[in-house]
Amino acid sequence: MSSQFLNRSLLREVTKSPISASYTRITPALPAISRSFASNSAPRPSSLTLLQHVQSHPSPHTRRAASRLAQAIMPRPGSSTENYVAYGMTQKLFEACSTQADYSIPQVAQKGAQVPKTEGGEDLGVGTGWWYEELGLLPTFSTWSQVTFLHMYLLTVRLRALPSRDSLQTYSRHLIDHFSHSAEHRMDVLHGFTSRAIRNKFLKDLFIQWRGVLAAYDEGLVKGDAVLGAAVWRNLWKANYNAPDGSELDWAKIAQVVAYMRRVTADLAQMSEADLVTNLAHPTGGKPAVFGYSELDKRLVEAKR
């Protein structure tokens, strides 16, 4: 879409009414509009001046006009364009979720080496990060999948604010598809599940677990920290009263995860969809990444003990 067309469209829409009140509906589209104006080698000053004036002095009529313009520019819910955009965006979002409790199995590259096992018979890998070092979880496929699910859930809560149910379903479907592809790859490469039939069976079980995660964490967010903590305990610590090293479970660690979930949920609520990709796993603008360890979560738990 050329910048000249955008200029003419914007002028037609915004000059229908006086300028005064709220302009919230076009906010997501403004960066795209601004880039289009900037790409014009000889922009008309009156158009740029009008755009700046509308941003600072909008009116109810302007908001409706701007909404129509935004709908024309942005991908429509359920369209092939939105489907394409959602696929690429959710791939980046999933990568941010997947890396939080990533692990490796060094023995895979060592011919004849035996992979160590947990007491439950799971392959034991090597992992870094606060989920393993601070909380003491074991670097296994199970831990990776549950921590990834937890972050996918936090994203799903934010995606529920998308403008339509069709958009939510599109993004949610792509998000779980990315998880399925990654999980199957790990089963094959890291854990030696060469049979597609066996992998498909595990994937079906994981999908059922995902539905349970959605229900359990939703209930926890609504009913309070005790219920949310119980869901975290069941999913991450497998409802075990002992830590993986055999010592008595430190319940403050569960409380720390609850504080983490509450903080991330609040942070995501303040972010636009466009900012999600860049701000989840990487610090931006002097601010820490949304996903990741925060000393504030730990201090909050300690202050309430």
What one-letter code names the amino acid at 137? L
Q: What is the pLDDT of residues 12-44, one digit of tens each?
A: 433 333 333 333 333 333 333 333 333 444 444
Helix, strand and coil content of the chain, in percent to the nearest 5, comes to: 65, 5, 30
196-223 vs 165-189: helix axis angle to the nearest 10? Answer: 130
The predicted model scores a pTM of 0.74
The pLDDT assigned to 93 comes to 96
Which of 291, 226, 300 minimizes the C-alpha distance to 261?
Answer: 291
Separation between Cα atoms, residue 263 and residue 261, nearest integer Å: 5
The pLDDT assigned to 84 comes to 87
| Alpha carbon distances (Å) from 98 to 181, 190, 217, 238 | 12, 15, 18, 20
- The answer for 59, left when phi > 0, alpha when psi is -120 to 50, beta otherwise, is beta
The pLDDT assigned to 202 comes to 97
The pLDDT assigned to 273 comes to 83
The pLDDT assigned to 79 comes to 62
Q: What is the pLDDT of residues 108-149, one digit of tens each?
A: 989 889 999 999 999 999 999 999 999 999 999 999 999 999
Per-residue pLDDT for the chain (305 aa), expressed as one digit of tens each?
A: 433 433 344 334 333 333 333 333 333 333 333 333 334 444 444 444 433 443 444 454 444 443 343 343 345 555 677 788 889 999 999 999 999 999 999 999 898 899 999 999 999 999 999 999 999 999 999 999 999 999 999 999 999 999 899 999 999 999 999 999 999 999 999 999 999 999 999 999 999 999 999 999 999 999 999 999 999 999 999 999 999 888 999 999 999 999 999 999 999 999 988 888 888 877 776 678 899 999 999 999 988 87
**Cβ-proximal residues to 216 (8 Å cutoff; 6+ apart), any chain:** 231, 234, 235
